[in-house]
Chains A and B, each alone.
Chain A
C-alpha cells in the first residue's frame, strides 16, 4: 500500500507543480505586456531601434505580430528552451547572466537557511518550553522586531558598524581584493576552494559570506522561532508526551527526545517560505555588500528598468520557490503519511 499511495500522491503534486509553473510564466507574460507603449522599444537598445531589419526580426522572433494567445505560446516555448530574452544593458542573454550570478546567491542563501534553521528551531523550542515566562516574552519581542526590520537598512547599518567601523567582519565582495578566485567548479567560493584544497581562500570566503547571511537570516529566524514555538506547543499537548511525563522523564528529556522529533515535521513545511523570503531579501541586500549574485543583478536591472532581466530573475525565483515547495510536500508525505489521504 505504501509505495503505491506515495507514487499517486507524488504524481498528483507533480501535476499541480507543472500547472503552477505554467501559471507562473503566464503571470510573467502578462506583466511583461503591461509595458505601456511599444514592447520593442522597451526591449531593444536605442541603436537597434533605428534598424528596421532588427526590429522586424525581433517582432518575428517573439511573435509580436501575432495575437496575444499566440504570443504567449511563443513566449512559453522560448522559456522552456531556456531563452529568457536579452538584457537591455549588456545585450547578453538573460539566461547566461542568471547562470553567472546564481552560484553566489545560492551560497549565500544556503548559509542563511542553515543559520536560521539552527537558531529558529532552538529559539522556538526554548520559547515553547518557557511558555508565557520571561524567555518566551523576550523571544516574542525579538521575533516581532525581527519581522519588522527593513532588511536593506539592516544590511547598511550592520555593514557600516560591524564591518567598516569595527572591522569585526571583512569588507564587501566575496573575497579580499587580490585573492584569486578558486578554480570554478560549482561557482561557490567556499565549495570550490575546499575542492581545490585551499583552506586560506575558504576561510576568507566564509568570512565574507557571514555578515550578509546573518542579515538575511534576521527575518527568517524570527519567522521560524514563532512557527517552531507553536508547533512544539501543539506537540506538548499530545498523549505520548503525557505518557512520557507520567513515566517520570524530565522536561528537557521529553523535549529533546519526543517533542522536537514530532515538531520537526510541520517545521519542514515552511522551508519553501524560508527560501523564498531569503531569495527576495538578496534583492535588497546584495547590492550593499557588492555581492555579485542575482540579487545585485535584479537591483541593477530595477534601477535601470532592464525589464527582460527583471522578469528573468522573478521567473527564476518563482520557479525555485515552487520547486522547493513541491519537494517539501513530497518529503512531508514521507515523514507523515497521513497527508497522502487528504
Chain B
C-alpha cells in the first residue's frame, strides 16, 4: 500500500476499512516493487534453465583446490571439498525453484479443494475440515514440517511431502472464507433457483471469484516454500549431500563459518528469490479489495 497511485481518489471516497483502495491489476507495471520482483524471478528462472551453460564448473566435481577465497576465477570461492560455490549456487536454482512451484501447486490444490468443499457444503464436512485446519495451525509450520520430515526419513521428497502436509491449511482457510462470502450472494442464489447443480454453481459462479485471491496467496507462499525447504535442508532433513540445495550449502558453510563465502552466497540466493516473490505477491495483494487482502495475511 504505497507508491504513486495511478489516480488520486476523490476525497469523499475515503475507505472506512483503513486499507488502500483496490488498485487495478494492470497498474502493476507502475509498481516498482512488483517490477523488481518480476525481474528477479525472471533472472533466476533464466539462470536455472541455463545453469548447464553458465556454470563454470561441475557442481559436484571435487577437483579444485579447497577453500579458495572469492577471486576472478571463482567469484564465490570454493568449498571444503574443492567444489566451485558459484556453480553450486547456479545449479541450486534447479532444485529450489521447481520444488517451490511443485509444493505450492500441490498444497494449493489440496487446500483449495478442501476449503471450497467445506465452505460450500457446510455442515459436518465443514466441521471436520476446519477442525483439522485448527489442529495444523496449532503447530508453528517449520516445527511440524521438521517432525514429519524426520519421521518419514531425511530426503528431498519427504521434505517436500512434509511441507505440503503443513501448508495446505492456509489455502483451505482462505478459500473457505471466500466461498462462504460468495455462496450467499444474490447471483449464486439466483442461479441455484434457476436449477443449476451445486457442482455447476461452485465451478462456474463461485470459483472465478476465488481464483484471483488464491493466486496472490500462492505467490506469497512460493517464497515461504523456498524458505521452508531451505530450512529443512539446513537441518539435514531435506536435500542430502552432495546436492547443491541452497539451505544444505549454507549448512555446510556454517560448519566452517570462518570461510564466509561458502554460506554467504547461497543465502543471498535464497534471500533474493524469496524477496522477489514477496515483492510481487505483496503488490498483487494490494490490488485486491481490503477485506480479501486481510484474509490473506500469511502466518508466522
Contact = CB atoms under 8 A, between A and B. Distances in A.
A152 interface: yes
Given A160-B258, A280-B141, A283-B143, A148 B263 contact: no
B184 interface: no
A288 interface: yes
Contacts of A145: 271, 275
Contacts of B297: 227
A35 to B, nearest CB: 5
Interface stretch (A44-52, A72-80, A302-310): A302-310
A153 B270 contact: yes
Contacts of A152: 231, 234, 247, 250-251, 254
Given A144-B278, A233-B18, A318-B139, A310 B150 contact: yes
A28 interface: yes
Contact of B147 (A147, A234, A310): A310
A284 B145 CA distance: 13
A6 to B, nearest CB: 23
A202 to B, nearest CB: 28
Contact of A288 (B18, B143, B254): B254
Contacts of B227: 148, 150
B271 A31 contact: no
Contact of B140 (A20, A141, A157, A277): A277
Contacts of B59: none
27 contacts: A20-B134, A20-B135, A23-B131, A36-B152, A140-B1, A144-B275, A150-B231, A150-B234, A152-B250, A153-B267, A156-B253, A236-B18, A237-B15, A273-B300, A276-B300, A279-B140, A280-B142, A280-B300, A284-B142, A284-B231, A299-B235, A310-B147, A310-B151, A313-B143, A314-B143, A314-B146, A321-B138
Interface of B: 1-3, 5, 14-19, 33, 131, 134-136, 138-144, 146-148, 150-154, 223, 227, 230-231, 234-237, 247, 250-251, 253-254, 257-258, 260, 263-264, 266-267, 270-271, 274-275, 277-279, 282, 294, 297-300
- Top 3 nearest A-B pairs (CB, nearest first) are A153-B267, A234-B18, A148-B274
Interface of A: 20, 23-24, 26-28, 31-32, 34-36, 131-132, 136-137, 140-141, 144-145, 147-150, 152-154, 156-157, 159-161, 164, 223, 227, 230, 233-237, 273, 276-277, 279-280, 283-284, 287-288, 298-299, 301-303, 305, 307, 310-311, 313-314, 317-318, 321-322
Given A36-B152, A156-B264, A157-B263, 10 more contacts: A136-B2, A140-B2, A144-B282, A153-B263, A153-B270, A156-B267, A160-B260, A305-B154, A310-B150, A310-B151
